[in-house]
Every structure is written in structure tokens, then in C-alpha cells.
Amino acid sequence: MTGSAFLEVNGVNKYFGSLHVLKDCSFSVTKGQTVVLIGPSGSGKSTLLRCLNLLEPPSAGSIAFEGREITGDLRNAHKLRAQIGMVFQNFELFQHLNAVENIMLAPMKVLGYSRLDAHDLAVDLLHKVHIPDRADHLPDELSGGQQQRVAIARALAMKPKLMLYDEPTSALDPEMIREVLDVMTELSADGMTSVCVTHEMGFARRAADRIIFMERGSIIENATSEVFFSGEASDRAKQFLNQILH
């Protein structure tokens, strides 16, 4: 372990039964970096992301978070997950709670915030994601782009050290993609360490420090975004980019 990497993934393998889904995946993320993970459907992106917060325990290999090995003892996985925010394709908001209540829940339950403090925090976060006027709306009264921004605010309420995004804009109508990517870009610019599975290459160019390209469970490219987008990417990665850009 180098000690300097914030997140260090070392030789991670994952099997589902006999299906070998992650093959010797290794990469590291330094504090404040934004890493974009791309690759064809079924290549293992979601599984790799879920391994990072131990929603899926790796079958082999190790992951260190802030210099501490997290894969050895899964009993503390919930403590780790409290420090890592995750945003999903389908928002996964609590349908019976309005926007502000969705955001208040975890700080009250997990961090011991009073109702008043949690409410103040939630209102601040709704400003941060640019929908302060939607506090008392239920999820089904919000657009997809607004729901996803509530989901991001809900993750931020736990003051995460790392944000994981799994195709956060894939379920959105095209006109709502930008407002969600803008919030993610602002968070990255503020120094939030992030790993994002997304095919939004405009976002990757703007916000990513590194691009990781996966195929069939293996990381086949891990490059700075300058190198990746300057035409120096591997032929396979270029071919994939062509497919998603046309």
C-alpha cells in the first residue's frame, strides 16, 4: 500500500457462482479526484462500484479506503457505507416522504441530528442542488432531474468522503440530463472525490481527472482524461467511444 491513495483497489475479483464478473481489477483514486468508469453493458461497472462500498464483497483481492483495508472484515461495512454516498440510476427516493424529509432521514437516524438541525441541513442542500423551492414536494411531484438532485442531496447529507454514481442520468429525459451533470460537476470542482459510471462524455471531459475503460470484467484502460480524449486511447476504447457518441 502506498499510503497516499485515498482509495486503492488491488487485484479485485468477483464471481457470481461460476460467472467471473471482475477480473484482477486494480486502480487507485487520490483525494479530490473524479474518476469516470465506462464500458459496454455487462462489463462489470456496477459490480465494481458496489464492491467499493462493500454492497458486494469482492471474492478476492483487497480494497483500502483512507489507507485502511476494508475487505478483511465485513462486520463494519455499514460504518464504511455511512461515509460513502451512492446515487443510482432510478433515484430510489422514499416515495412517501417529501424532498426535505428524504434528505433529513439519514442524518437524524445515523448521525443523531435533531429534527431542527436536519431540516436546516436539508434546506442548505436543496439550495446546493438548485431546487430550494421543491422542499415539500413528494417524489412523484418532481421531474426526474429534480428527483435525482434530491437523491444527490440525500447522499450529501451524510457528509460523505466519497461519492459513487451509477449511471445517474440514464433514466432521465434528455432535457434533464444537464441539470444533474451540472450539480455533479460543481461537486467535483469543490473537491468531492467521486467515481462515476456514466456515458456522458461531455461530463467526463469537463469533470474527470481519469477515465477507466472496462470490458468483460477487466480494466483495459486507465488514463488521464487529457490522454484519453487526445486520441491516445487504445483502439478498443476509441471504438467504444464511437459507438456511444453516434
45 binds ligand ADP (CB under 6 A): yes
How far, in Å, CA of 233 to CA of 200, rounded?
17
Contact flag: residue 46 with Mg ion (CB under 5 A): yes
Residue 19 interacts with which of Mg ion, ligand ADP, none, CB < 5 to 8 Å by class: ligand ADP
Neighbour tally for 196: CB within 10 Å: 26
Q: How far is the CB of 89 from Mg ion (least distance, A)?
A: 8
Nearest residue (CB) to ligand ADP, 36 versus 150: 36
| Cβ 29 vs Cβ 193: under 8 Å | yes
Looking at beta carbons only, is 33 or 46 nearer to ligand ADP? 46
Comparing CB distances to Mg ion, the nearer of 34 and 46 is 46
Binding mask 146-185 for ligand ADP (x = CB under 6 A): ----------------------------------------
The answer to whether residue 57 forms part of the interface with ligand ADP (CB under 6 A) is no
**Residues 21 to 40: which contact ligand ADP by CB under 6 A?**
21, 39
Looking at 16-24, 59-67, 132-140, 150-158, which segment touches ligand ADP (CB under 6 A)?
Answer: 16-24
In the complex with ligand ADP, which residue's Cβ is closer, 170 or 185? 170
In the bound complex, what is the minimum distance in angstroms from residue 12's beta carbon to ligand ADP? 12
Tell me which of ligand ADP, Mg ion, none is bound by residue 144, counting a contact when its beta carbon lies within the kind-specific cut-off of 5 to 8 angstroms.
Answer: none
Which residue's CB is nearer to ligand ADP, number 40 or number 132?
Answer: 40
Residue 43 binds to Mg ion (criterion: CB under 5 A): no
3-state secondary structure the chain: CCCCCCEEEEEEEEEECCEEEEEEEEEEECCCCEEEEECCCCCCHHHHHHHHCCCCCCCEEEEEECCEECCCCHHHHHHHHCCEEEECCCCCCCCCCCHHHHHHHHHHHCCCCCHHHHHHHHHHHHHHCCCHHHCCCCHHHCCHHHHHHHHHHHHHCCCCCEEEEECCCCCCCHHHHHHHHHHHHHHHHCCCCEEEECCCHHHHHHHCCEEEEEECCEEEEEEEHHHHHHHHCCHHHHHHHHHHHC
Q: Which is nearer to ligand ADP, 114 or 243 (CB)?
A: 243
φ and ψ of 111, to 5 deg: -100, -5
Which stretches of the chain bind Mg ion, using CB under 5 A?
Answer: 46
Which stretches of the chain bind ligand ADP, using CB under 6 A?
Answer: 16, 19, 21, 39, 41-47
